[in-house]
Copies of this chain bind each other. A is one copy, B any other.
Amino acid sequence: MQRYQCTLSYDGSQFSGYQVQPNARTVQKELETALAKLHKGNSVPVTASGRTDAGVHAKGQVIHFDSPLHIPVSKWELALNTLLPGDIAVNRIEKAAAGFHARFDTVGKEYRYFVHLSARRDPFKRNYAYQFSYPIDYVAMKEALKFFIGSHDFTSFCSAKTTIEDRVRTIKEIEFFEEGDLLVFRLVGNGFLYNMVRIIVGTLLEIGSGERSPYQIPEILEKRDRTLAGKTIPGHGLYLWKVFY
């Protein structure tokens, strides 16, 4: 048996998320179907760095799996890409130590969230960026960023359905920049809770559009109450950009 570490891109728009679920097209299912074909129908479970929701994209999702096949590492990429559907691509595959674990060994992740700044909807961006048509106060939004940096209990900024108890996470970097008519938010942290990026960016956009003040953030963090933060914006603007080990 050889363990492999594999980096993937996927367009999340035609998937019901990453994780296998009955009667749904998921990234994990497509990966396991392709691997089963390579292994004469034998099932090969894959483990990802984490799930992504329906509509969420990945530019650098990482998975691991074990295989008894003696395929040179240089051939694995072609073999898998030939079997995978067009909306998933293997970017890199390499041998990993037997003890490597795509989820437990993660030390950080980078997410990006794309906002399409336009009053007019664009058919080519509908699945790839969140359309936002209000003027943005960049100074106010920038002012808010610094309150997120560092270690905080992010209870107010994760889904109320979150069952995990320890909600302290460390945000190492948070910034935004423009790329043409896109506004890109970039967040790097040691880990992110369920919907955390979507709620943080949703809250930042409410600050940008003047609905709330940047100076509310410390109090929202402190109160640990999901209802105090902004709305959860759609998954289709979100990209799992990179996983750090």
Contacts and interface: CB of A to CB of B under 8 A. Distances in A.
A11 B88 CA distance: 20
A86 B128 CA distance: 12
A74 to B, nearest CB: 13
Copies, count: 2
Name A's interface SS.
loop
Contacts of A126: 11, 86-87
A123 interface: yes
A57 interface: yes
Contact of A124 (B9, B121, B122, B123): B9
B123 A81 contact: no
Interface residues of A, number: 17
Contact of A122 (B9, B120, B123, B128): B9
A131 B234 CA distance: 30
Given A81-B121, A89-B120, A89-B121, 17 more contacts: A9-B122, A9-B123, A9-B124, A10-B123, A11-B123, A11-B124, A11-B126, A57-B124, A86-B121, A86-B123, A86-B126, A87-B123, A87-B126, A89-B122, A89-B123, A91-B120, A124-B128
7 contacts: A9-B123, A11-B124, A86-B121, A86-B123, A88-B123, A89-B120, A91-B120
Interface of A: 9-11, 57, 81, 86-89, 91, 120-124, 126, 128
